[in-house]
């Protein structure tokens, strides 16, 4: 990564943290920006507010999700012009996922169309895709296609296409987001239960696993964050 790109990412990280603090009343402990092609990944640690802690203790996860989504949407709408100014191009989509137990989150911003693909050692990629198939098909529909879109010492992101069951597509069309949220939690829980299998393959300790969903385009991103 060039120095100028690193400086841009540090600037965006500082800007985003300030926006979060203004909207939430507190900023994250850390906010790490990573970029690849037309995608920007934001990894956040220690973001839960006191009000959210109370809701979580009372198992009000839907309320927490709705509150956080509303605020994050407002923050991203303010943040998108800064990203466009730094990297050029328009931000078309953004997605987010949160692990409340570990107090972490990931936000993915992208513009389309995208041709990003990481060149990975063929045998390793095949083994990775086979493992995703082995674990994932226990919990969700087998995707039509998989593609690694980012792989560094810090993160691995895999795009999966055509991942929704007919019932899930119908739930999205009818606006039944509670059902989709519950299903997404169950699927991610399944991957977390099998984290050691992926750690053995990557030969890395996995700090977090996220799955961000694009229901409109029937795809998701499986994201592994590694301990540095």
Residue 113 has pLDDT above 70, yes or no: no
Structure tokens at 188: 């991610």
Residue 116 has pLDDT above 70, yes or no: no
pTM of the full structure: 0.93
Cβ neighbours of residue 139 under 8 Å, at least 6 residues apart? 186, 187, 190, 191
End-to-end CA distance of the chain, in Å?
17
Reduced DSSP (H G I as helix, E B as strand, rest coil) percent helix, strand, coil of the chain, to 5: 45, 25, 30
Chain segment 39-52, per-residue pLDDT in tens = 999 999 998 888 89
Cβ neighbours of residue 195 under 8 Å, at least 6 residues apart? 206, 209
With CA atoms as reference, report the closest residue to 144 among 154, 152, 136: 136
Residue 67 has pLDDT above 60, yes or no: yes
Residue 3 — very low, low, confident or very high, per pLDDT cuts 50/70/90?
Answer: very low
Show the DSSP H helices in 48-148 as ranges: 50-57, 61-87, 122-136
Residue 1 — very low, low, confident or very high, per pLDDT cuts 50/70/90?
Answer: very low
- For 118-148, b where at least 16 C-beta lie within 10 A, e where not — what string? beeeeeebeebbeebeebbeeebeebeebbb
């Amino acid at each position: 990564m060039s120095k100028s790109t690193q400086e841009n990412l540090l600037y965006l990280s500082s800007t985003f943290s300030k926006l979060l603090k203004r909207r939430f009343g507190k900023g994250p402990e850390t906010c790490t920006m990573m970029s690849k092609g037309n995608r920007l990944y934001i990894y956040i640690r220690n973001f839960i507010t006191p009000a959210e802690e109370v809701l979580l203790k009372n198992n009000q996860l839907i309320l927490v999700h709705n509150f956080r989504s509303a605020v994050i949407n407002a923050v991203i709408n303010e943040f998108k012009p800064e990203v466009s100014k730094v990297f050029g191009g328009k931000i078309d989509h953004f997605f987010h996922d949160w692990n409340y137990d570990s107090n972490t989150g990931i936000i993915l911003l992208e513009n389309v169309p995208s041709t990003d693909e990481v060149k990975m050692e063929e045998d390793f990629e095949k083994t990775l895709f086979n493992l995703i198939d082995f674990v994932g098909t226990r919990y969700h529909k087998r995707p039509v296609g998989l593609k690694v879109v980012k792989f560094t010492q810090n993160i691995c992101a895999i795009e999966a296409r055509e991942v929704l069951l007919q019932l899930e597509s119908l739930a999205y069309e009818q606006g039944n987001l509670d059902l989709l949220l519950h299903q997404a939690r169950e699927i991610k829980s399944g991957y977390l239960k099998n984290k050691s299998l992926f750690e053995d393959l990557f030969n890395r300790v996995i700090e977090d696993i996220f799955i961000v969903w694009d229901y409109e385009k029937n795809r998701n991103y499986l994201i592994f964050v590694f301990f540095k």
